[in-house]
Amino acid sequence: MKSRLDAARAMLATPLAEPGSGRHRYGAAMTFYNAGLIGADVLEVYRTCANLDAEDPAAIMAERGLPDVAAASEDPAQKIAALAEAADRYLGTLPGPGVAEVRAGLAAVRPFAPHPQPVSPNPVVDAHLQTALDLLENTHPALAAAIAEAAPHLPWVTYDAYPRDLIGDAFATGHAFASIVGEASAIQARDYDLGLFLIAPRVLYRDHAHAAPELYAPLTGPHGWRFGPGLPMVTKPAHEPVWNDPHDPHATRVGDVPFLAVFGWTRDVNVPAYVIAADDWAELESA
Ligand SMILES: [Fe+2]
């Protein structure tokens, strides 16, 4: 995934006048365009130069006041804005309750002008994100590319506010989330949160609830879900969204592949979530 964009960067540097180099550069630019890293105006320059191997697209862009494509594709703010766009486009393809509310929150903060923050590496992301993106790339290559590009610049957190004895060690050390749009995020929004959520394979995110209405848009699957302690788990495939009304209990049992989702909280984001006891966690966690 990452390597496709790296390969595109290398291809942009093909020497001018090398036979076929114009088409190679256009192909590379298309990869950046599909990942949301350059605009249609920049892509158009590469298109017009596709059969003109000696023509320097950078000179034409400078003449037109367009951003240098290589520089634009390396800018963390641009990558985060591109991810917000890609997530919004993806949500727009989904059915069901909550999608419109989450998208309305995004519409309220357009145009996206991210201020990336200092971030630190997260071991759960290092261990599992690439596996999830390799799967996602098969069906949603542009979204997968946008996530791969922005992920190193997102404030990934392994949440520690749940009591450890209630939430269990496997979840406590086996998940990470990153806000993209929210109160302390690169893209600021009040009482709203949109981001990515990652959980290691075969981890049970035990029954819990919160005041915030919540959308999950799972990018991988299948995973198990239930909406009340003690109820049987139901299996849902990737791209089948889940909407949780305020204080509705829910639990997720991650399948054999890492759980990766876009999540949205549309209000009450500062009210802490709480675990709801169930007597079958041990059984579910050993299954
Ligand atoms: Fe939740």
Q: Which amino acid appears at position 6 of this protein?
A: D
> How large is the average pLDDT for residues 199-209?
98
218: alpha, beta or left, given left = phi > 0 and alpha = psi -120 to 50? Answer: beta
Single-letter amino acid code for the residue at 29: A
Name the residue type at position 10: A
Q: What is the whole-number distance in angstroms between the Cα of residue 41 and the centre of ligand 1?
A: 40
For residues 226-244, average pLDDT = 97
CA of 176 to the centre of ligand 1 (A): 13
For the record, the structure tokens of 84 come out as: 């917000």
What's the Cα-to-Cα distance from 200 to each of 98, 158, 173, 254, 258, rounded to whole Å?
26, 12, 9, 7, 5
Between the CA of 251 and the centroid of ligand 1 the distance, in Å, is 8
What tens digit of pLDDT does each residue of 162-195 get?
A: 999 999 999 999 999 999 999 989 999 999 999 9
Residues with CB under 5 A from ligand 1 (ion): 214
List phi, psi (to 5°) of 218. -70, 130
Ligand 1 centroid, distance to 250 Cα (angstroms): 7
The DSSP output letter for 153 is G
- In angstroms, the CA 57 to CA 63 distance is 10
| pLDDT tens profile 71-107 | 667 889 989 999 999 999 999 999 999 999 999 999 9
Question: Residue 20 Cα, ligand 1 centroid: separation in angstroms?
Answer: 51
pLDDT of residue 39: 86
What pLDDT does residue 71 have? 67
- Burial of 46 by CB count in 10 Å (0-12 exposed, 13-18 middle, 19+ buried)? buried
Q: Which tens digits make up the pLDDT trace of 119-135?
A: 999 999 999 999 999 99
What separation in Å is there between the alpha carbon of 208 and the centre of ligand 1? 7
Whether pTM > 0.85 for this model: the answer is yes
Question: Separation of 65 CA from ligand 1 center, angstroms?
Answer: 45
Q: Which two tokens stand for residue 99?
A: 């999608």
244 Cα: distance to centroid of ligand 1 (angstroms):
7
Q: From CA 237, how far away is CA 144, in angstroms rounded?
A: 17
